[in-house]
Amino acid sequence: MASSGLAKTETPIDNNGSLERARVLRSMRLGDVLFESLTRTAAISVLLLGGIIISLFIGAWPAIKTYGFDFLTTQRWAPSLKPQPILGALGPVYGTLVSSLLAMVIAVPVGLGISIFLTELCPHVLRRPISIAIELLAGIPSIIYGMWGFFVLGPFLAEHFQPAVIDFFADVPVLNVIFAGPASNLSLFNAALILAIMVLPFITAISRDVFATVPVVLKEAAYGAGCTTWEVVWNVVIPYTRVGVIGGVMLGLGRALGETMAVAFVIGNAFKIKASLFAPATTISAAIASEFAESDGLHQSSLILLGLLLFVLTFMVLTAARIMLMRLERNQGK
């Protein structure tokens, strides 16, 4: 009888415990379902990118129908010409590619040099202040860069730097064309230099972070074998982190291709292609920003087509970068 009474008193306790566990499991299951739904919604929202492409294509269709492939090979940009404007994307495409590539030529060595200094050579007391100063550059609005380039950097380059470079290469074949005068406050070189300063924080920050992931034992082993600092960096640090470094460089390149306001201030907005880097030029984003507000009809459709071209160009560059990273990762696995 005693044991029977004990069993009767334990049964409600067991039932209460089961009910509590069931409630906990239902709560956890509900949280998983909610989390899955939110992440699925976030992933599907990326498909809105397709809607952007479709809207750009619809807006650009009149220009595509009118100019066809000639739009890519025509340099002249005459939106007010009657009875029909003559509009071509060759000038903006040229300016976009050259300014971005030149900016990367300037920014990548400087950014990697700063990152190597911070991780390998810099005294500990200076690492944090220098890192903070570099990261603050990324927070400066692009229009501030543009105003600084227009009022300070452009006049300085035109008065001091460009005349010296023009005179220095005056008798050197090819280079005397690339660096031909006259000096100008607004030029393709000025825009590339502004872009280099703007993308420098991204390249530096990412490179510094990936350099910091190199195991200390690898570097100590290299130093123990008699390697110099340069040999350790070149043969250990960079091979170990090259995937991350290339990713940072491509991130900077994507920023340079799409930059608008800073470039519009200093590039000169000239659609004519010239061999000299010191001549005014334009980019796709700068052309759209400077003319879209006053455009209509075929002119506006051509500007939208420029935007579509920039979208495709950036997509191709980032896709190529992704393929390169995949091959590097596969080779590392081998």
pLDDT of residue 36: 85
What is the predicted pLDDT for the residue at 332?
63
Structural contact between residues 266 and 190, judged by C-beta atoms closer than 8 angstroms: yes
Residue with token string 């570099």 = 134
pLDDT of residue 136: 85
Structure letter (DSSP) for residue 172: S
The pLDDT value recorded for residue 246 is 87
In the chain, where the domains are located: 2-46, 61-333
DSSP letter at 294 equals G
First to last CA, the chain: 74
Query: Could you tell me if 169 and 179 are in contact, meaning their C-beta atoms sit under 8 angstroms apart?
Result: yes
pLDDT in tens, 114-130: 999 999 888 888 888 88
Q: Which residue type occupies 22? A: A
Residue 5's alpha-carbon distances to 2, 16, 18, 30, in angstroms, are 5, 18, 21, 39
Would the CA dihedral through 64, 67, 70, 74 be positive or negative? Answer: negative
Site of tokens 């470039």: 263
* 61-333 carries CATH number 3.10.180.10: no
CB 175 within 8 A of CB 278: no
Helical H runs in 89-123? 90-116
List, for the chain, all residue ranges whose pLDDT scores fall below the cut of 70: 1-17, 332-334
State pTM to two decimals: 0.83
The helix/strand/coil state of 282 is coil
| Residue 87 β-bridge partners | 77
pLDDT confidence of residue 11? 47
Predicted pLDDT at 334: 53
Please state, in angstroms and rounded to a whole number, the distance separating the CA atoms of residues 208 and 116: 7
Q: Are 280 and 164 in contact (CB under 8 A)?
A: no
Position 251 scores a pLDDT of 85
Q: How many CB atoms lie within 10 A of CB 333?
A: 6
Residue 12 one-letter amino acid? P
Find, among 308, 316, 287, the residue nearest to 95 by Cα.
287
